[in-house]
Structure 1
Amino acid sequence: MQRHTNWNYILLLFVIFGGYLIFGISENIKGPALPEMQSELSLSDGKLGILLAINSFGFLLACMYTPWLTSKLGAKTTSILTFALMGLSGIAVYYSTNLSSLIGAYFLLYLGNGMLEIGLAIIAARLFTKNTGTMLNLSHFFYGLGSTVAPIIAAQMMGWEIASTVLGWRGMYVIMLSLSLLPIIPVIISRFPIQQGEDSEESTSFKKLTKDPIAWLIVFALTMGVTAELGIAAWLVNYLVRVNDWTITDASNMLALFFFSFMLARFILGPITDRIGFAKSIIIFSFLAGTLCIIPIFTSDKLSILFALAGFGIGPIYPTMMALLAKKYQKGTDAAITFTVVLIGIGGVGTNLLIGYIIEFVSKLSLGRTLEASNQIGMQTGFFFIAMTAILCGIATAEIHRRLKKIGQVI
């Protein structure tokens, strides 16, 4: 019996770690692809912002229906559908010929990502009852690993020639997203952990969460932290190409370096967060990330490496906050995760739109400057906003820490 339990635990680790690896790949192959999409389909920065906002909306929608779908079909069937949907979205991207069809394809992809996020978070929270901060950071390390290799491989793959035809961003999406079919194997042969009394607990917890200011502060802090993470993932390549005149390959390598530091931080800093406390850790990480992003905006091209090093600050924010969430709401973890991730999705729609339109609006305020100079200032302003979201995450977490300390629940 013990041997069977250990084997099942290993299979679940494959599901969680493999799922996060695929998650990182699917979310961050867009970095080198977006400039090519923007050029080929003649998309403005505002329309690019709409595309990214649709991502967040699809993610949000999936987070809302996934718990219901899981209760109706079961965790296994839902997980299989999730990975299959992500593979299907790669084919949809391949056949995208305009903004509308591309939005539809991305919408499918982020439905899959949203379902995956909820599913993996719940399974991990149930499975990792000891050393929570360490294990959740280790799980998200694999997201960082996928995110690190994704821009490098995607940029190279887009230049491949097959039968005298360049693969391009469409072919790259098909190949990379087909990897999402691989985790289906351990899903089928594993037994998922079940939480008893989940329905009644979730109903009660949602009522409590809507009246809990700490729950709302967690939502705001995480929304800001996720905005910083995804903002850099989506816009760093564009920034370095348009502001610093880098090639897409060099800019993609810098994005990969960001995710390498992001990944390394999650691998190394997990035990530290367990030791010094989750809230204190997030405050330190958030202010570090924001500062490292702001400095290269106002200095020379030589300090662009600080964008990559910001990954050390941004990397641990999400898993550490989820660990805080799991500890704060030990009775009703599933509901707390769903509540938080759904509201992060709503916030993500707004912030993604805002980034794109900040860049476009400021770029149009030429003030006698050349078009190139105006575009550069627009990108710098947009990136400054991204950096400030990391700072706001730290400020909100400081208030969380103050409130938890006041009621004797320092986490």
Structure 2
Amino acid sequence: MKAFLWNGYLSYLLIGLAHVIMGSLLPEMLAHYGKDYSAGGQLVSLQFFGFLLGVLSGPWWSGKLGKRGALFLCLGCLSAAELVFFTLPSWPVVLTVAPLAGFGFGMVETIIGALVIQFLEGSRKTFVMTRLEVFFGLGALGMPLISSIFIAGGWWRGAFLSLGVLSFAMVVLWALLPLGRMQAMMQKTAAGEGAELHSPPTFRHKPIGLFAIFIAVFAIYVGTEMSVANFLPSILVANVQLQPEIAVLGGTCFWGAMAVGRLFAAHLAERFGYAAYLLASCVGGCVVLACFAMVQGAAASFALIALLGLVLSGVFSITLIYANSFFKGLEERVTSILIASGGVGGATLPLLTGWCLDRMTIPQSIWLLVAFYALMVALVFWASRSRSAKAAAAGPIAAELSET
């Protein structure tokens, strides 16, 4: 079991690296190919399309190939795509391969997340999910630093090579390391699951309206998180008059605080309850971001950025666990849909934020993000009230579950 968990942690570290490598190297790529930022946007959008495809098709591939076979497939796709990028092929080939990279790290995220939620119990599940997010944050934090080393050395495409090799190494680890009691589950295929796959669990008699609430929460949260992470340097340059090389540290500060906060998120969520933790996080996000809109000093801005990362650090993983508690037997499908909805939000809300930054003042644009966090507060509160009503109607067992 320890081997499975550490493979999962390292896989999340890998997809954290993969999520941000294109953004880290985009200026160098565009300069090499002689392309403008519109072409760069096309490249990122194609990778995002592949991400959605990987997230949504993960359960299907797991049924056909087994969990381990599906991981071999997606990690192999990621490794192949990064190695193709390393060769600096023609621009049409780059655009063709971009969805393959997104497909790879999208499917890794949904398969491992669903396995943890489905087969671990109680506080152990919460601890592992938040620890996975810690490793994801370390990857997202580390790739800009790794890329800067390669860029400073005059060999920026080496970052693609390093990620391709790391992806292949993860294939080897998943193939060779013993996985304990998860071994049989990782090797299950459609043929081996028998009647379970002939009569797959469905959303019939499930609270679909509640599921729609969680879809909206994921889209809003990931969209606002990506907006904050992507536009922080620009906001600090324009609003605080920092030099670009100093302003870029705002992103490092945000992701670093995220990684630290995730070390404690599981304990806090278990102690105070998932709903209370999520409500406090969303309210805290509103307050901190509102303060950020009103300050102009560099020290205060960086302090608030770090505080924002700490406050929001556990929202993704805790919401994923909380949502899945309503849909027993549907964990893999629910996880893939929720992560996909987060991907949609991550692609669309930053576009809205950028549009607002072009046409409104920076404080006004930040207040728009505050409004999104306020909407999240309302949605999470609505979901918590629905759960309380369900627990009260279902009896002691459901009530006990609602308190965990």
Q: Secondary structure at the match of 2:226?
A: helix
How far did 1:338 drift? 2.6
How far did 1:66 drift? 1.9
Show structure 2 runs of 5+ residues with no match. 392-398
Structure-2 residue corresponding to 1:403: 386
Structure-1 residue corresponding to 2:322: 324
Structure-1 residue corresponding to 2:138: 145
Distance 1:71 1:395, change over 3 A: same
Alignment of 1:167 onto 2:159: no
8 Å contact 1:28–1:150 — kept in the other structure? yes
Structure-1 residue corresponding to 2:279: 283
Alignment of 1:72 onto 2:70: no
Letter in 1 for 2:309: G
**Which structure 2 residues correspond to residues 31-70 of structure 1 after superposition, within 5 A?**
32-34=24-26, 43-44=36-37, 51-70=43-62
Which of these residues, 301, 304, 308, is aligned with residue 301 of structure 2? 304
Q: Secondary structure at the match of 1:235?
A: helix
8 Å contact 2:254–2:309 — kept in the other structure? yes
Structure-1 residue corresponding to 2:119: 127
How far did 1:83 drift? 1.5
Letter in 1 for 2:160: Y
Letter in 2 for 1:398: F
Structure-2 residue corresponding to 1:5: none
8 Å contact 2:223–2:349 — kept in the other structure? yes
Which of these residues, 144, 161, 170, is aligned with residue 183 of structure 1? 170
How far did 1:203 drift? 4.3
Distance 1:276 1:249, change over 3 A: same
How far did 1:65 drift? 1.8
Distance 1:33 1:335, change over 3 A: same
Q: Deviations over 1:32-79 (max 9, x none)?
A: 4445556775534x7665554444322211122222122112222221
Distance 1:158 1:345, change over 3 A: same
Alignment of 1:265 onto 2:261: yes
After TM superposition, what 4+ stretches of structure 1 lie above 6 angstroms from structure 2?
none
Q: Deviations over 1:329-348 (max 9, x none)?
A: 22322222233233333444
Partners in 2 of 1:293 and 1:99 — Cα distance? 39
Partners in 1 of 2:275 and 2:239 — Cα distance? 35
**Which structure 2 residues correspond to residues 287-366 of structure 1 after superposition, within 5 A?**
287-302=283-298, 303-305=300-302, 306-360=304-358, 362=359
Letter in 1 for 2:292: P
Letter in 2 for 1:333: E
8 Å contact 2:230–2:251 — kept in the other structure? no
Letter in 2 for 1:345: G
How far did 1:178 drift? 3.0
Show structure 1 runs of 5+ residues with no match. 1-8, 161-165, 364-376
8 Å contact 2:222–2:345 — kept in the other structure? no
Structure-2 residue corresponding to 1:155: 148
8 Å contact 1:270–1:316 — kept in the other structure? yes
Which of these residues, 373, 376, 380, is aligned with residue 393 of structure 1? 376
The structure whose RCO (Cα within 8 Å, separation 6+) is larger is 1
8 Å contact 2:223–2:342 — kept in the other structure? no
Name the TM-score, length of structure 1 as normaliser: 0.80
Which of these residues, 20, 40, 52, is aligned with residue 28 of structure 1? 20
Partners in 2 of 1:343 and 1:178 — Cα distance? 30
Deviates more, 1:348-357 or 1:333-342: 348-357
Letter in 2 for 1:69: W
How far did 1:257 drift? 2.0
Structure-2 residue corresponding to 1:368: none
Number of paired residues? Answer: 379
How far did 1:385 drift? 4.1
How far did 1:219 drift? 0.8
Name the TM-score, length of structure 2 as normaliser: 0.82
